[in-house]
Structure 1
Amino acid sequence: MGGLCKECEQPYTDDNWCRSCNAKRFQQDFKNWTSGNPNIDKLIQESQINAKNGYEKLEWVEYDKFENIEYITKGGFGTIYKSRWKEGYIKYWYYRLNQWFRRGNTSVALKSLNNSKDITLEFLNEIKLHLKMNNSSSMIKLYGITKDSKTSNFVMVMQYAEDGNFRQVLNRDFKSFSFVDKLTALHEISSGLRDIHREGLTHQDFHIGNILTSSTAFCRITDLGLNADPSKRPTAQNLNFRCIEWFLESKNMRRGIREICKQFKEADEFNKNQPSFTKSDNNKLIYTTHPQAIYTSRLLNFNNLPEPKNEEYSESLKIDFTKLNIK
């Protein structure tokens, strides 16, 4: 991180990043863009003014900057697309050319947010929390915000993980998933959760589908509860009551399981005492018939029947029905 800014000669706040000088550059550009929403404008501007490195800022990106937009899937919060951002995100200020040096030709995930034309302050606060985690190497990066020109929904511009979520990886490559791979995955996942908790936060929707993978990011955590409607989330009291309900239901379930096991045991004992047939001392089969049943029969000639294809087993299946002792 060392070194002095070539412009103000103050120490860099990160590699090739001067907070004060870059803040001035961003401020000079505020007049050249707008999201159309003052709250989003303010969020982006504050991130740029306060950024101590390239990951702590957001950018407003015009939608026509994205190429080859492809549908991926739908989530509870909206629709996810893959795209290519030809310019890429800002990395640092390039003094020789007096312009921003950008990542260039970057694959990104575009998360279009349902009904986000009138985005709420609560949702903006959640984006702030996501931005707060951008410094973690175990989290999916949030680069900026754009707006779908067709739907007018706001879209989050995020790091793209080409291998999909961790569930897909395990389903696809579990046999080749070595012990070292498992340890690496556990380390990176736990590191991400550690970073979240160090910020005094909790992941509000943590599951295997929110762990993404790629060649450059083996396991990265994403979606800090953004796919849930904040107005419909349970309160702590709701969760407490629900846990009590689950506990009582589990006790009732255990009683039900014990009752079912008891019934199976009784059925087994009953079946042991009710055999369907027995054998006499001379190994003749003894069949018990109903006393009120009427039986009729006629002789059939089977002398010319062909031998069965599996005749090697036929000897064990032959029974002389004339010798049956039918009572």
Structure 2
Amino acid sequence: MSFLINEESMLRCELKKKNYGLCFTCQKQNKINWCKNCEYSTFEKFFSRWSSGNIYIDFVIQETQRNASESTDYLEWIPFGQLDLIEFCGKGTFSTVYSGFWLEGPRWVWDEEGDEWSRNGPIKIAIKRIDYSQNITKEYADKVII
């Protein structure tokens, strides 16, 4: 087996090596296709557009987004209207577990033309309803984050 390598393909290869892991937006060295700084800035823009109804739960979700080390290493608030076919699975001491489908699904691939993430839903997920979640305190949220 033989390969034909010309100057153009060698140049493209060198450019890829130099640009490997650069953020398209801020041009800083980052993980492939993911920039922690730009990603958090995007999340931050949407903080005012969603709420769990409890500021401490919102804080926990926002902290996972702020401290994510990969493109899937965070929590995302899912509005109830994005859930379908919810079924009871079981009851624990402090919560109830359901299964269901997240219609939109998690972010999947960055669409450069649309300048947004495409999503891969619908996807089956586990849903945990925490009893008395409206009463979660700052002290509890701090323990969850640690």
Q: Under a length normalisation based on structure 2, what TM-score does the superposition of the two structures give?
A: 0.75
Equivalent residue number for residue 28 of structure 2: 10
In the alignment, is residue 97 of structure 1 matched against residue 114 of structure 2?
yes
Aligned pair partner of 2:61 in 44, 49, 52: 44
Aligned pair partner of 1:67 in 68, 84, 98: 84
Equivalent residue number for residue 145 of structure 2: 128
Q: Which amino acid letter does the alignment assign opposite residue 22 of structure 1?
A: E
Q: Any conservation in 2 of the 1:77–1:114 contact (CA below 8 Å)?
A: yes
Q: Give 1:91 shift.
A: 3.7
- Measured on the aligned residues, the alpha-carbon RMSD in Å equals 2.0
Deviations 1:189-216 (A, max 9, x none): xxxxxxxxxxxxxxxxxxxxxxxxxxxx
Q: What is the rounded CA distance, in whole Å, between the counterparts of 1:56 and 1:38 in structure 2?
A: 21
In the alignment, is residue 22 of structure 1 matched against residue 44 of structure 2?
no
Q: Give 1:125 shift.
A: 3.7
Q: Any conservation in 2 of the 1:86–1:106 contact (CA below 8 Å)?
A: yes
Q: What is the rounded CA distance, in whole Å, between the counterparts of 1:20 and 1:99 in structure 2?
A: 16
Q: Give 1:116 shift.
A: 1.8
Deviations 1:237-277 (A, max 9, x none): xxxxxxxxxxxxxxxxxxxxxxxxxxxxxxxxxxxxxxxxx
Equivalent residue number for residue 6 of structure 2: none
Query: How many residues align structurally?
Result: 127
Q: Any conservation in 1 of the 2:53–2:134 contact (CA below 8 Å)?
A: no
Q: Give 1:63 shift.
A: 1.0
* Percent of pairs with identical residues: 35
Could you tell me which runs of 5 or more consecutive residues in structure 1 were left unpaired when the two chains were aligned: 130-327
Could you tell me which runs of 5 or more consecutive residues in structure 2 were left unpaired when the two chains were aligned: 1-19
Q: Which amino acid letter does the alignment assign opposite residue 71 of structure 1?
A: F
Q: Max radius of gyration: which structure?
A: 1
Q: Any conservation in 2 of the 1:72–1:81 contact (CA below 8 Å)?
A: yes
Q: Give 1:126 shift.
A: 4.7
1:166-181 aligned within 5 A: none
Give the 3-state SS of the residue equivalent to 2:27 in structure 1: coil
Q: What is the rounded CA distance, in whole Å, between the counterparts of 1:78 and 1:10 in structure 2?
A: 42
Q: Any conservation in 2 of the 1:73–1:81 contact (CA below 8 Å)?
A: yes
Deviations 1:83-135 (A, max 9, x none): 00011122454322211232321111111112222113343245435xxxxxx
Q: Which amino acid letter does the alignment assign opposite residue 37 of structure 1?
A: N
Give the 3-state SS of the residue equivalent to 2:134 in structure 1: coil
Q: Any conservation in 1 of the 2:63–2:145 contact (CA below 8 Å)?
A: no
Residues 1:93 and 1:122: Cα distance change in structure 2 (over 3 Å): farther
Q: What is the rounded CA distance, in whole Å, between the counterparts of 1:29 and 1:37 in structure 2?
A: 16
Q: What is the rounded CA distance, in whole Å, between the counterparts of 1:93 and 1:127 in structure 2?
A: 30
Equivalent residue number for residue 149 of structure 1: none
Residues 1:92 and 1:128: Cα distance change in structure 2 (over 3 Å): farther
Give the 3-state SS of the residue equivalent to 1:60 in structure 2: coil
Residues 1:16 and 1:33: Cα distance change in structure 2 (over 3 Å): same
